[in-house]
Amino acid sequence: MNNYSHNNFLNNIVESIKTYTPSTDIIKREVKAYLVDTSAKVGTYVIPMGVIEASRGLSLEQIIQSRTSVALADAVLGRAYGKLLNYTRKKCNTEEKKGLKSYLVDTATMLAVYDPAYMLILKSTGADWNQIESATLFLTGILALTARPFSKYILDNWRKYWNTK
């Protein structure tokens, strides 16, 4: 190795060390983002969905079980949805934009994550197929109306407040 390439190699190592982010910082950042995305989703939808389930004939026990299951599911799905939303917005070029395309991207992303999960949750509570179908159709309607406002006005602002993405 000649002197120039040796110095260049050492300079690259020094620069890498200067820009290195310790893994604990990465873990803290991801845990914070996880908590922000999850709390936004659980906090926003717990009451409206409980009311919908009651209107679809689910018993109080089934509703409590469903809401608890959804909160547990959101412990996984909340951040997964947030990451997928970041990806679909970037891929479809709708980050920080308004309009129909942004509405469709945000809504399709939420439906893709939450409709199948919700059906499985209701099935696990003992709901019959008619209840599952009816409640999921209501969920689809609610999400079609609220996914974009949720992501734009609640999730994005909650993330901004806590300085996460």
- Look at residue 21 in the predicted model and tell me its pLDDT: 61
Q: What angle do CA 40, 42, 46 make, to 5 degrees?
A: 130
147 contact partners, CB below 8 Å, separation of at least 6: 106, 107, 109, 110, 111
Contact 39, 108 (CB under 8 A): no
- Cα 17 off chain centre by: 33
Which value, to the nearest 10 degrees, does the dihedral of the CA atoms of residues 130, 134, 139, 140 take?
A: 100
pLDDT of amino acid 132: 92
Widest CA span in the chain? 79
Which residue, 155, 154, 108, 114, is CA-closest to 138? 114
User: Contact 90/82 with Cβ under 8 angstroms?
Assistant: no
**pLDDT reported for residue 48:** 86
Predicted local distance difference test score (pLDDT) of residue 108:
96
Please give the backbone phi and psi of residue 122, each rounded to the nearest 5 degrees, phi first. Answer: -65, -40
Query: How far apart are alpha carbons 66 and 127 in whole angstroms?
Result: 10
* Single pTM value for the model: 0.72
Over its length of 165 residues, how does the chain's per-residue pLDDT go in tens digits?
555 565 677 677 767 666 666 677 888 888 999 999 999 988 888 888 889 889 988 899 999 988 888 888 888 888 999 999 999 999 999 988 889 999 999 999 999 998 998 899 889 888 899 999 998 998 899 889 999 999 999 999 999 999 998
Q: How far apart are the first and last CA of the chain?
A: 43
Q: Is residue 141 classed exposed, middle or buried when 0-12, 13-18 and 19+ CB atoms within 10 A define those classes?
A: exposed
Q: What is the pLDDT of residue 6?
A: 57
